[in-house]
Amino acid sequence: MTEVPGRPGRVAGSTHTVGVIGWPVEHSLSPAIHNAAFEALGMDWVYVPFPVPPGQVAAALAGLPALGFSGANVTMPHKTECADLIGDLSEDARALRAVNTIVVGAEGLAGHNTDVSGFDRFLDVDAGFDPSGRTALVLGAGGAARACSLALARRGLAALTVAVRRPEHAERVGLLVEPFGTKVSGVAFEDANGVPANLVVNATPLGARGEPLPLPPLDPGGLAVDLLTRPASTTLLSEARRAGCAAFGGVGLLLHQGAIAFELWTGRVPPLDVMSAAALAELAEPGSSSGS
């Protein structure tokens, strides 16, 4: 809980409130990282989880301005429905048909998607990876996969292979990145092990419990990213480290997209080191499980 100046541990009527909308949200890392940033900056803000069951999204959105909230993050399974319900969408939110950040303003709700720019920042700041002229394999074609694909295409990725269960999902990714000149092809998920790439991104829930993934030989000079935030070692990350490939879990994307949301709400740049320390501390808690 954020501290009101002069009143440690108290939330007052002047406190700005934001949070995360999802179902479920009890394992979300976002409250820990945002509240740590608010506290570090001495801001009278608080971030809380909003468990919103399916069928109640419209009511939840209507309640945000009515109750004086400043904004919210959106996680599964509500990102697409929020994009359908909010009229004022950013370019990325409209392109992806997915909202992960809401800003409450005088004119109503504005929907943003910070995953694209968050992944771009992650590539620069954490991974030090330049996708220009290189190749990538993305496992999955959901919202996070599309966001990563769009970020890579904007950075000049030469070729992208999308491994999916249903071919039409790869076609959606192709249409999304077509304006940027990236060559896109789709393969059956089980055939991904025949696709060499400089970058491999797992955007599925598979591998969290050691399940096998159809992985190609990993390039020792390449990059592997598993968008799962938990556990610390997944199938992809274990295989990548064994091959001498740079390997990152999903905390980096979570932090960078969260930092952009923080900036949208507050107009201030958050202390990323504080947010990272809070995320790692939360992940170290016994019994922690995957979440955003």
Nearest to 292 by CA among 83, 34, 117, 64: 34
Over residues 17-33, the mean pLDDT reads 95
Q: Where are the alpha helices (DSSP H) in 97-164?
A: 115-122, 143-154
Quote the pLDDT of residue 167.
85
Q: What is the residue-averaged pLDDT of the chain?
A: 93
Superfamily designation of domain 16-113+253-283 = Leucine Dehydrogenase, chain A, domain 1 (3.40.50.10860)
Quote the pLDDT of residue 106.
93
CA–CA dist 219, 49 (Å, integer): 40
Peptide bond into 271 cis (omega under 30): no
Tokens of 129: 């990876």
pLDDT tens-digit readout, 169-178: 899 999 999 8
User: In the predicted model, is pLDDT for residue 287 greater than 80?
Assistant: no
Q: Which parts of the chain are beta strand (E)?
A: 16-22, 45-51, 71-74, 88-89, 101-105, 108-112, 135-139, 159-164, 183-188, 199-202, 223-226, 246-248
Please give the model's pTM, rounded to 2 decimal places: 0.92
Could you tell me which residue, 291 or 56, shows the higher pLDDT?
56
- What does CATH list as the number for 116-249? 3.40.50.720
User: In the predicted model, is pLDDT for residue 245 greater than 60?
Assistant: yes
Contacting residues for 81 by C-beta, under 8 A, at least 6 apart: 57
Which one of the listed residues 78, 79, 134, 256 is annotated catalytic?
A: 79
Contacting residues for 272 by C-beta, under 8 A, at least 6 apart: 255, 256, 259
Would you call 79 a catalytic residue per the annotation?
A: yes
Q: Are strands 183-188 and 159-164 parallel, antiparallel or unpaired?
A: parallel
User: In the predicted model, is pLDDT for residue 73 greater than 60?
Assistant: yes
Q: Kindly report, as residue ranges, where domains of CATH 3.40.50.720 are found in the chain.
A: 116-249
The answer to whether 20 and 74 have CB atoms below 8 angstroms apart is yes
CA–CA dist 282, 292 (Å, integer): 12
CA–CA dist 188, 177 (Å, integer): 20
pLDDT tens-digit readout, 129-168: 999 999 999 999 999 999 999 999 999 999 999 999 988 8
3-state secondary structure (DSSP) of residue 279: helix
Contacting residues for 128 by C-beta, under 8 A, at least 6 apart: none
The answer to whether 139 and 160 have CB atoms below 8 angstroms apart is no
CA–CA dist 36, 58 (Å, integer): 30
Cβ neighbours around 273 below 10 Å, total: 11
Q: Kindly report, as residue ranges, where domains of CATH 3.40.50.10860 are found in the chain.
A: 16-113+253-283
Residue 195: band (very low, low, confident or very high) from pLDDT cuts 50, 70, 90? very high
Widest Cα–Cα separation across the chain: 61
